Structure 1
Amino acid sequence: MTRLVFIPSFLVLGSLLAAGPGFNGRWDITVKGEPRNRAWWLGIEGAGTPHPKGSFISAFGGALNPIEEISVHGNQLTFGFRHDGRHLVYKATLAGGRLQGIFEEDGKQKLTFTGVRAPVIRDKEDGTWKKASPVDLFNGRDMSGWKPLIPNLPLGWKVENGVLVNTPKANNLITDRKFWNFELDAEFRVGPHSNSGIGLRGRYEVQILEDYGRPPDAHSNGALYSRIVPSVNASKPAGEWQTYHIRLVGRTVTVALNGRKIIDKGEIDGLTAIAVDPNEGEPGPLILQGDHGSVEFRKLVLTPLTH
């Protein structure tokens, strides 16, 4: 004899809601087959409630995009965007505390991805860090210690008269070595309407932009791109040499532009769009962005910080 077992609807609803909160939090995402070797980042709040919300890097524009469409049904999170006539949809399930997902564009699968929870980084800017011996990342003669981010694309960089110079739409450069906590001193120059950046640990971009005289915003010269707005615009006009002094300890970043502190112990919530290394709890490389406008560097000195 077959017995029918009826499960009360409130128990079914409860089990679905119980699965939802597992998506909450910050996620570092590795993408299989991403053509630019980029990593993604996802932040979710309110999963398991009627009104989940979130933000994502990088759907389009290289910015921190507020999620436009989002739903959680049982063990599946679906979110998406409509941009330039395209429908971008991301679907993920939870398995063993990890995200397993696919990305679709206009209903066609494009990529697969996995996500892990962003780690708690316990290193704090507490005055106990000591400077080790500085590392000269650019020797003024050649590109020793650097490699192209995407090996099968043209390099687009050269050394001229002791200066590292790109041609617009060049490859991004990435260091052979990886670093954790450090100070970075850089001297750079950009032309009119130009745009570049320095990727810290291969994850967090300090923006380089020709924006003399404009009000600061999340994409200004010296911003932690799309995340931390500089307190002032300290930029020089196009064609003049400028300086950065950047200090990174754990998730805390301080930026001085042309001798003026514009970010003071800002807390980094997560990856920016330059990210190629999603493993936030580990050392990472330095990136020089060359795939936008023209930029020159004549000094890149990194000083590790140790206890």
Structure 2
Amino acid sequence: MLALQGTSRLAWAALLFFPFLFAGTFCQGANGDKGSPSDAVRFFSGSWDLTLKSPDREYPSWLEIHQENGHPVAQMVGRWGNARPIPKVEISDREITFVSPKEEEGSSTDLIFVGKPDGKCLSGTLTGPNGAPWTWSAVRAPLLQRKGKPKWGKPISLFNGKDLTGWKMSDANSTASWKVEDGTLVSPGHGPEIINEQKFQDFKLHIEFNCGANANSGIYLRGRYEVQIEDNSVQEPPSHHTGGVYGFIAPSPELSRKPGEWQSFDITLVGRTITVVQNGKTVMDHQEVPGITGGALDSHEEMPGPIYLQGSEDNHVAFRNIILTPAEK
């Protein structure tokens, strides 16, 4: 009986001790201190909202990392352009190194990022364009999940059809400014972006657009996610075509281009979920936007943001009847 009692005490002690032993082991792996290489990759895996800091300004960026056969694979949205695979990402212990090629960055040198965890964030240095030293930081991209269906508020007209009240240029010194013609908001081409001064979280947006031949523009939702408008991207990937979320989601079905004709979008954005109706036909139905697109104003995805319209890269683009219905808080 005494022997059994002693054995029982030892068994209970083991049962009490083992959970702490295993918990410590799992924490080490999760923190990447003494885990395997795949543990380190798991620590950095997921989507990150980046901010690149040069001596004179900040640039938003986005990075997504996952594992394939135990090795890190990544895609990135740089200072501009679309989401693209990056050729090099290395993770060792608690440090990450990745490279954005000079061809994608319009630089004479590759942008080389080196970073480490900083609390729940990442921070580090990079070799900026032309070899200049920059810094960068990153936070995990928010899920932006919503509970229940939104309750819609009162519609707001963002453009009065008379002047630029409520809007501002991205470059106040540009000579190719937006103007109002016959009740429409017009970019003549090769000009700045125009940004609405109000900020919104979840909303429905009705907007009508007229895209000239060989023109290329877009509508940025919260100033971060571009719904594409174009007449010159036939040879590019489908996500670069009118009605797509640039670089991420292609319209389906894709409607025929109508240069010089008025068309409409009815866009609903709730959290990360987007629906796009073009000319009365649904071309994107409750799709999740992975992250910011090139040309975003910032990478603070958890925050409200403005509607901004991209100045056409070529030829003119015009907008009218810009009506936004916000979700009530």
Tell me if TM exceeds 0.5.
yes
State the shift of 1:87 in Å.
Answer: 2.3
Is the partner of 1:21 in helix, strand or coil?
Answer: helix
Question: Is the Cα contact below 8 Å between 1:36 and 1:150 reproduced in 2?
Answer: no
Give the letter for the 2:318 counterpart.
Answer: E
Which residue matches 2:166? 145
Q: 1:121 to 1:220 in 2, by over 3 A?
A: same
Is the partner of 1:42 in helix, strand or coil?
Answer: strand
State the shift of 1:215 in Å.
Answer: 9.7
1:303 aligned onto 2:308: no
Which residue matches 1:66? 85
Question: Is the Cα contact below 8 Å between 2:124 and 2:137 reproduced in 1?
Answer: yes
Separation in structure 1 between the aligned mates of residue 152 and residue 93 of structure 2, nearest angstrom: 50
Question: Is the Cα contact below 8 Å between 1:31 and 1:39 reproduced in 2?
Answer: yes
1:1-307 residue pairs with structure 2 within 5 A? 14=34, 17=37, 18-33=39-54, 38-46=59-67, 50-58=70-78, 62-84=81-103, 86-105=109-128, 108-123=131-146, 126=148, 128-151=149-172, 153-154=174-175, 156-210=177-231, 217-290=238-311, 292-293=313-314, 294-306=316-328
Question: Is the Cα contact below 8 Å between 2:49 and 2:61 reproduced in 1?
Answer: yes
| Equivalent residue pairs, number | 293
Q: 1:155 to 1:101 in 2, by over 3 A?
A: farther
Is the partner of 1:22 in helix, strand or coil?
Answer: helix
Question: Is the Cα contact below 8 Å between 2:47 and 2:63 reproduced in 1?
Answer: yes
Gapped runs of 5+ residues in structure 1?
A: 1-10
Separation in structure 1 between the aligned mates of residue 167 and residue 129 of structure 2, nearest angstrom: 38
State the shift of 1:235 in Å.
Answer: 3.8
Flag the structure with higher helix content: 2
- Show CA shifts across 1:134-191 (max 9, x none): 1111101111111122455556111112111112221111111100111101111111
Q: 1:263 to 1:36 in 2, by over 3 A?
A: farther
Flag the structure with higher strand content: 1
Question: Is the Cα contact below 8 Å between 1:191 and 1:210 reproduced in 2?
Answer: yes
Give the letter for the 1:94 counterpart.
Answer: P
Separation in structure 2 between the aligned mates of residue 264 and residue 292 of structure 1, nearest angstrom: 28
Separation in structure 1 between the aligned mates of residue 228 and residue 57 of structure 2, nearest angstrom: 19
Question: Is the Cα contact below 8 Å between 1:20 and 1:75 reproduced in 2?
Answer: no
Is the partner of 2:293 in helix, strand or coil?
Answer: coil
Moved over 6 A (4+): 212-216
Question: Is the Cα contact below 8 Å between 1:38 and 1:274 reproduced in 2?
Answer: no
State the shift of 1:107 in Å.
Answer: 7.5
- Show CA shifts across 1:171-222 (max 9, x none): 1111111001111011111111110000001111100111698897110100
State the shift of 1:92 in Å.
Answer: 1.8
Q: 1:159 to 1:167 in 2, by over 3 A?
A: same
Question: Is the Cα contact below 8 Å between 2:33 and 2:94 reproduced in 1?
Answer: no
Separation in structure 2 between the aligned mates of residue 262 and residue 183 of structure 1, nearest angstrom: 16
TM score, norm. by length of structure 2: 0.80
Q: 1:297 to 1:199 in 2, by over 3 A?
A: same
Which residue matches 2:22? none
Question: Is the Cα contact below 8 Å between 1:183 and 1:247 reproduced in 2?
Answer: yes
Larger Rg: 2
Separation in structure 2 between the aligned mates of residue 213 and residue 23 of structure 1, nearest angstrom: 36
Separation in structure 2 between the aligned mates of residue 34 and residue 285 of structure 1, nearest angstrom: 26
Separation in structure 2 between the aligned mates of residue 276 and residue 165 of structure 1, nearest angstrom: 21
Is the partner of 1:218 in helix, strand or coil?
Answer: helix
Question: Is the Cα contact below 8 Å between 1:197 and 1:206 reproduced in 2?
Answer: yes
TM score, norm. by length of structure 1: 0.85
State the shift of 1:68 in Å.
Answer: 0.7
Gapped runs of 5+ residues in structure 2?
A: 1-28
Question: Is the Cα contact below 8 Å between 1:16 and 1:75 reproduced in 2?
Answer: no
